[in-house]
Amino acid sequence: MKKICFAAALLIGTLNSVAQYTAQGTIEFERKVNIHRQLDDMASEDGGEWFARMKAQIPKFVVSYFDYSFTLNNALYKPGREVENQPKMMFGSSPASDNTVFTNFKTSKVTASKQVFEQKFLVEDTMRKMEWKIMDEVRTIANYKCRKAVGKICDTVYVVAFYSEDIMVSGGPEMFSGLPGMILELAIPRLYSTWIATKVDIAQPKTEEMKAPEKGKKVNQKEMYDTLMASISKWGNWAQRSIWWSIL
């Protein structure tokens, strides 16, 4: 009898251990962009006082929300709920505010709809490959234990991520992936921007809603990069920041 009880207890413990892993659901990401810090950079480059006056008229942070629905087969990242009483930007919408990214994990393909200034692109490419360095720091995000990782885009732009192995999908906000679990927090210091999961709903996403975007000029990542560089290369350092935003 004792052996039977022990076996039953072991089985229950194993089931509970398995149950903690998440293979599907929807994550809400809160994105915060520090507009004041961006204006400070622009002011230091141009040496004007106009930017200081602008800071007094706009909020320090622009906050937006995105939903990331996922299964073991695919994922869809798209704009989420609107922020009530959010002051509007005086010089246009927040960058990358309408990005929609569909990822097919089986084929390692990504389809992303991106509005960059007056141009709308439909980026079709393979999933981004990054060299991540796993760190020791651990924190809890949306009730999931997460570990820190550091990587780079565009050779020089550092990306800090916290991922959870308890979510069995190697995905994350925008086009970021490649870690042994789901990215639940992302920070790009040079863009003064963060993405952090506020909640995780483990209900299965509706299949009919998991569709790739279709509108926009079809390009791959390099073609979009070359097109933008040719258009805004005279903008100085601010042009480079615009490129970083566009390839997220």
Q: Tell me: the pLDDT tens digits for 168-180?
A: 999 999 999 999 9
Helix axes 237-246, 35-46, angle to 10 degrees: 150
pLDDT at 7: 43
| Under 8 Å between Cβ of 137 and 155 | no
pTM: 0.85
Looking at residue 230, its pLDDT comes to 78
Q: Is 248 exposed, middle or buried (0-12, 13-18, 19+ CB in 10 A)?
A: buried
User: Identity (one letter) of the amino acid at 13?
Assistant: G
| Buried b or exposed e, range 219-244, using 16+ CB within 10 angstroms | bebeebeebbeeebeeeeeeebbbbb
User: What pLDDT, in 10s, does the model give residues 22-66?
Assistant: 999 999 999 999 887 777 766 665 556 666 677 667 778 889 999
Predicted confidence (pLDDT) per residue in 203-240, tens digit: 999 999 899 999 999 999 999 888 887 776 666 656 67
3-state helix, strand and coil shares in percent for the chain, rounded to the nearest 5: 25, 40, 35
Task: Calculate the average pLDDT of the chain.
Answer: 84
Mean pLDDT over 121-135 rounds to 95
Domain range list for the chain: 20-246
With respect to CATH, is domain 20-246 assigned 2.50.20? Answer: yes
Q: What whole-number distance in Å separates Cα of residue 17 and Cα of residue 25?
A: 18
Structure tokens at 27: 């994550």
In three-state secondary structure terms, 192 is coil
Nearest-CA neighbor of 92 among 115, 117, 59, 110? 117
Q: What percentage of the chain exceeds 70 in pLDDT?
A: 79
242 compared with 99, residue with greater pLDDT? 99
Alpha-carbon radius of gyration of the chain: 20
pLDDT of res. 81: 92
Structure tokens at 177: 């992936």
